Amino acid sequence: MKHEELMAILDGFHQSDLISLEVTRGGNVLKLKRASTLESSHLPIEATSDSAEKISAHDYQVSEGAQPTEALITSPIHGIFHASEKPGASPLVTQGDQVKSGQTLGILEAMKMFHNLCATKDGVIKEIFCVDGEEVEVDKPLFRII
């Protein structure tokens, strides 16, 4: 894959709202994936081929479908989502709630350990994508904050 073609693909991906892209040319495979949240620092994009050639490219901070003023909170691990601190208690947040950066939005249980899911920015909970007790996979969207 020539440098100009690679740059054209990267520019097109950067300007689109695609979450991921895979392009195969000859023996080369280029795989692009956006970062999980706006707040993540950098996600290098690599191109690989059968000869294990790697090409670093632009870093992206665009979340999966999020607008620049939004944050998409995704699951960092596979586990069980809990909306409240105790069974039967009120959820930590509901749609429309005002939240502060660092505020606990929910809890993930994995291997009998509990991990707080925190807001990455001040804002309002626009969407909640899971329900209490739901099993979630890595990178599953959980909350959208605007």
Residue 17, φ and ψ in degrees, nearest 5: -110, 25
Q: Is the dihedral of CA 36, 38, 39, 40 positive or negative?
A: positive
**How many Cβ atoms are within 10 Å of 142's Cβ, its own excluded?**
21
What CATH code is assigned to 71-145? 2.40.50.100
Contacts of 65 (CB under 8 A, 6+ apart): 17, 19, 72
Is the pLDDT assigned to residue 49 strictly greater than 80?
A: no
Helix, strand, or coil here: 14? helix
Is the pLDDT assigned to residue 71 strictly greater than 70?
A: yes
| Of the listed ranges 7-11, 106-110, 139-143, the one predicted with least confidence | 7-11
The residue extents of the domains of the chain are 3-56, 71-145
Mean pLDDT of 14-22: 74
In the prediction, which pLDDT does 1 show? 62
Mean pLDDT of 43-51: 38
pLDDT tens-digit series, residues 118-135: 999 999 999 999 999 999
| Angle (nearest 5°) at CA 65 between 138 and 137 | 10
pTM for this model (two decimals): 0.54
